[in-house]
């Protein structure tokens, strides 16, 4: 597994190919449509992220010291955003997830297109992923 | 009938020739806020460039000029909504503040435990929450006039809802999320027969209807400047003079007093009693310019054009498979709200945004309406007289594309 920085760099250079909001939108929708489905048993309130304008369900599981996320949303675009986050964070160690600065999000030039509530949604997702990392790393100590 | 000169009208609104994401802007979020004609924009610059001053307190040239321009607007608003006296016009920040003002002054003074306040099933949050707060404080009860599946008030239930305990009625004239035009004149007639005062939330109606508060016999009427081609941060509360005079003040401070000592303050007369502090001078003056604009517009022709846009949009959008219109009242203003089977409203709204088309998605500050229809939100296109049929076509075409992209079965 490549390092988080490497993955972030790759995503940034992918986005550099797009020169319009339309192209970025289509790319993110495509990511959302390809996101592996979340097991229905996780689509309950316990896994729901509050603070998102649309519903998001997120689960994180530990395997061999790494955390793997799966998620779903009623919005395909939001699923695409989760997919981006998962590319970087899924399969990493709890420590590196906790340390992640995720500076690539700003580099993608997405924030300007995402209404305040949307940006909050993204922050809520990141916070939830870090909460999983924290819970798993403290459980293993 | 002379055709409505849409090209000339559009040329008066600079923003309408702007681009969004490199595409010609299609602005269909007029129910949220209207765009401004150049005269309005210029008037704001002119005020700050040539006669900015505080009013009613300076002996100097600028203050006199600003005071005169400010005072003139009260007269303009009076005529615009056909109030009896300019003293019945209070400048506020907008509809939200106007309703809060009435709830905290008239409401606090007159509502007691066990009283009932009646609103409707399609109110904007700003005509729900101030009354809920009042009810909580006083132990009063909030009652709701229900609606049917078309988004029309069940008027046959009104007589039974106007009880001996009902002390106030507050209803929206035109719903911002459904477009329904409510029979407020009839509601007022029935309420008055039982001695109950009525507030009409005119935030949406003022841009689409000729307002005559005397003909409606409304006790209070509210509107926001930014929805009627004027600036943000200014709006009006109309109240019948005898009601305003009997109401306690809202905020304390300068302008609203007649004399102050540490022992006792006597209040200024209506409307100044309700306008504490330096008012929003610039925006009030520019609201006057917006009203001038309405006065020179052929409003009958504008309304007819909006009706044409609405009918055309209804036709094109309801022809799209998977679309379900929300709000199909017989009497509707230029709002089309809808949901699409299998497509998230936000995803579709963002798709339209990539094409330069501005619509609103979500609950539109009317969550109870969404709860009634059991949906999280709608896509809403709301029209103004400066919109065109070509824009409506662009909306319909791009909606079809959005659905093709976003509907689950389209995924290979
Ligand atoms: C029906 C209705 N009432 C009240 C409001 C609140 O107006 P404002 O935000 O200008 O105070 C709005 C604006 O969205 C509205 O549409």
**Quick one: which H or E segment has residue B338?**
strand B335-340
In this structure, are B140 and B213 located in the same domain? yes
Average pLDDT, chain B: 95
Query: pLDDT tier at A108 (50, 70, 90 boundaries)?
Result: confident
Catalytic residue among A28, A35, A49, A52: A52
- Copy the structure tokens of residue B313: 């949009």
How far from the centroid of its chain's Cα atoms is residue B230's Cα?
12
SS3 B248: coil
Q: Do B406 and A76 touch (CB under 8 A)?
A: yes
Query: pLDDT tier at B379 (50, 70, 90 boundaries)?
Result: very high
pLDDT of residue A112: 64
pLDDT of residue B411: 45
Which residue out of A18, A20, A21, A121 would a mutagenesis test of the B interface target, given it has the greatest number of B Cβ atoms within 10 Å?
A21
pLDDT: which is higher, B398 or B257: B398
How many domains does chain A divide into?
Answer: 1
For strand B26-27 and strand B357-358, is the pairing parallel, antiparallel, or unpaired? parallel
In this structure, are B176 and B265 located in the same domain? yes
In this structure, are B70 and B208 located in the same domain? yes
Range of the domain at A134: 4-139
SS3 A95: helix
Tokens 């330069």 found at: B356
pLDDT of residue A125: 86
Give backbone dihedrals phi and psi of B146, rounded to 5 degrees, phi first: -75, 170
The tens digit of pLDDT for each residue in A59-92 reads 999 999 999 999 999 889 989 989 999 999 999 9
- What ranges in B217-268 are assigned the alpha helix state H? 241-246
Q: Which residue, judged by its Cα, is nearest atom 7 of ligand 1?
A: B95
- From B260, B295, B330, give the residue that closes a domain: B295
In this structure, are B160 and B302 located in the same domain? no
Longest dimension (CA), chain A: 47
The answer to the question of residue B101 being in a domain is yes
- From B247, B262, B295, give the residue that closes a domain: B295
- B135 belongs to the catalytic site: no
The answer to the question of residue B36 being in a domain is no
Distance CA A113, CA B353 (A): 9
Cβ–ligand 1 distance for B123 under 6 Å, the answer no
Cβ–ligand 1 distance for B98 under 6 Å, the answer no
DSSP-assigned letter for residue B106:
I
Range of the domain at B404: 6-30+298-410
Residues of B contacting chain A (CB within 8 angstroms): 21-22, 344, 346-347, 350-351, 353-355, 362, 376, 405-406, 411
Tokens 């896994």 found at: A47
pLDDT of residue A118: 56
Q: Do A21 and B353 touch (CB under 8 A)?
A: yes
In this structure, are B309 and B338 located in the same domain? yes
**Cβ atoms of B394 and B309 closer than 8 Å:** no
Tokens 């972030």 found at: A8
Burial tier of B119 (Cβ tally within 10 Å: 0-12, 13-18, 19+): buried
| B124 Cα–ligand 1 center, Å | 7
**At what angle are helices B345-354 and B389-406 packed, to 10 degrees?**
120
Q: Do A22 and B21 touch (CB under 8 A)?
A: yes
Query: pLDDT tier at B397 (50, 70, 90 boundaries)?
Result: very high
In this structure, are B157 and B101 located in the same domain? yes
Catalytic residue among B365, B367, B389, B400: B365
In this structure, are B153 and B230 located in the same domain? yes
Residues on chain B touching A21 (C-beta within 8 angstroms): 21, 353-354
In this structure, are B263 and B309 located in the same domain? no
The answer to the question of residue B35 being in a domain is no
Show Cβ contacts of residue A92 under 8 Å, excluding neighbours closer than 6 positions.
Answer: A1, A4, A66, A67, A100
For strand B335-340 and strand B378-382, is the pairing parallel, antiparallel, or unpaired? antiparallel
pLDDT of residue A139: 79
Name which of A125-129, B136-140, B316-320, B328-332 the model is least confident about: A125-129
What are A57's strand-pairing partners?
Answer: A48, A72
Q: What is the best residue among B98, B99, B126, B280 to mutate for testing ligand 1's pocket, by most ligand atoms within 8 Å of CB? A: B126
Which residue out of A30, A72, A73, A76 would a mutagenesis test of the B interface target, given it has the greatest number of B Cβ atoms within 10 Å?
A76
Interface pTM, i.e. ipTM: 0.88
C-beta neighbour count of B313 within 10 angstroms: 26
Distance CA B274, CA B254 (A): 11
Cα–Cα distances (Å) from B108 to A43, B139, B246, B258, in that order, read: 46, 11, 12, 23
CATH number of the domain enclosing B324: 3.90.1150.10
Residues on chain B touching A54 (C-beta within 8 angstroms): 344, 346, 376
CATH number of the domain enclosing A73: 3.90.1010.10
Cα–Cα distances (Å) from B292 to B55, B230, B297, B345, in that order, read: 22, 11, 9, 38
Q: Which residue, judged by its Cα, is nearest atom 15 of ligand 1?
A: B203
In this structure, are B269 and B321 located in the same domain? no
C-beta neighbour count of A33 within 10 angstroms: 17
pLDDT of residue A115: 54
The answer to the question of residue B1 being in a domain is no
C-alpha Rg value of chain A to the nearest Å: 15
CATH number of the domain enclosing B71: 3.40.640.10
How many domains does chain B divide into?
Answer: 2
């Amino acid at each position: 597994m490549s390092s988080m920085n490497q993955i972030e760099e790759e995503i940034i250079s992918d986005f550099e190919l797009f020169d319009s909001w339309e192209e970025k939108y289509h790319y993110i929708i495509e990511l959302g449509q390809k996101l592996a489905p979340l097991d229905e048993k996780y689509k309950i309130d316990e896994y729901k992220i509050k603070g998102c304008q649309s519903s998001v369900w997120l689960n994180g599981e530990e395997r061999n010291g790494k955390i793997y996320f799966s998620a779903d949303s009623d919005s395909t675009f939001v699923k695409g955003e989760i997919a981006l986050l998962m590319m970087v964070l899924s399969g990493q160690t709890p420590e590196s997830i906790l340390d992640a600065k995720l500076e690539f999000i700003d580099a993608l030039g997405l924030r300007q297109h995402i209404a305040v509530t949307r940006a909050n949604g993204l922050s809520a997702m990141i916070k939830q992923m870090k909460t999983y990392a924290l819970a798993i790393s403290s459980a293993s100590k | 009938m002379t055709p409505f000169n849409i090209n000339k009208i559009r040329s008066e609104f600079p923003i309408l020739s702007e681009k969004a994401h490199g595409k010609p802007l299609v602005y269909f979020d007029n129910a949220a806020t209207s765009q401004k004609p150049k005269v309005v924009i210029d008037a704001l610059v002119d005020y700050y460039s040539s006669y900015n001053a505080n009013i009613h307190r300076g002996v100097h040239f600028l203050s006199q000029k600003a005071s005169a321009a400010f005072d003139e607007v009260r007269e303009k608003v009076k005529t615009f909504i056909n109030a009896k006296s300019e003293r019945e016009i209070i400048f506020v920040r907008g509809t939200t503040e106007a309703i809060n003002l009435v709830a905290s002054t008239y409401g606090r003074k007159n509502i007691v435990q066990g009283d009932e306040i009646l609103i409707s099933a399609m109110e904007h949050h700003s005509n729900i929450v101030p009354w809920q707060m009042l009810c909580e404080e006083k132990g009063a009860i909030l009652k709701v006039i229900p609606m049917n599946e078309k988004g029309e008030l069940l008027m046959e239930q009104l007589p039974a809802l106007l009880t001996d305990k009902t002390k106030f009625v507050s209803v929206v004239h035109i719903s911002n999320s459904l477009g329904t035009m409510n029979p407020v004149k009839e509601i007022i007639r029935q309420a008055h027969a039982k001695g109950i005062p009525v507030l009409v939330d005119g935030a949406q109606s003022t841009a689409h209807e000729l307002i005559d508060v005397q003909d409606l016999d409304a006790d209070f009427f509210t509107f926001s400047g930014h929805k009627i081609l004027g600036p943000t941060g200014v709006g009006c509360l109309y109240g019948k003079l005898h009601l305003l005079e009997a109401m306690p003040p809202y905020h304390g401070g300068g302008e609203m007093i007649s004399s102050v000592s540490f022992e006792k303050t006597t209040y200024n007369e209506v409307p100044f009693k309700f306008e504490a502090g330096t008012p929003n001078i610039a925006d009030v003056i520019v609201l006057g310019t917006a009203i001038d604009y309405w006065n020179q517009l052929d409003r009958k022709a504008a309304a007819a054009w909006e009706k044409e846009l609405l009918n055309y949009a209804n036709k094109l959008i309801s022809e799209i498979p998977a679309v379900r219109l929300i709000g199909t009242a017989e009497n509707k203003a230029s709002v089309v709200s809808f949901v699409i089977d299998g497509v998230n409203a936000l995803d579709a709204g963002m798709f339209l945004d990539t094409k330069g088309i501005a619509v609103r998605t979500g609950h539109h500050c009317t969550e109870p309406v969404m709860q009634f229809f059991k949906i999280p939100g709608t896509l809403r296109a709301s029209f103004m007289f400066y919109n065109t049929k070509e824009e409506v076509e662009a909306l319909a075409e791009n909606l079809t594309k959005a659905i093709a992209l976003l509907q689950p079965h389209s995924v290979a």
